[in-house]
Structure 1
């Protein structure tokens, strides 16, 4: 993270899982995401001002069960 007064920039990595129904079967999709964020400090709290999302890996598979 790089801080400059009441603004900052940083990188966040995240993983998400989403389940949906497709053709009567449950499919899970795994997402690996990189976020390039710009933050602003307001009233003592850091808030996300801008966010660019980069989906690095997307993998889907049918759930067994």
Structure 2
């Protein structure tokens, strides 16, 4: 019984430790996800611009 009374603080320590581990991990995951989606959007815009530019060159070649 004495051992259980000595370990009362574990009831608070374990959830706090889990929070300290889980919160930074979830924050990192969110930040990485935002960066990836921005990168994907940038790549899509760049690819679209490249296609337009390439199409312009193709038209010029076929006209001449």
Please report the TM-score for the alignment, with normalisation by the length of structure 1: 0.19
Going by fraction, where is helix more abundant, 1 or 2? 2
Query: Whose relative contact order is higher, 1 or 2, with alpha carbons under 8 Å and at least 6 apart?
Result: 1
Higher alpha-carbon Rg: 2
Please report the TM-score for the alignment, with normalisation by the length of structure 2: 0.20
Going by fraction, where is strand more abundant, 1 or 2? 1
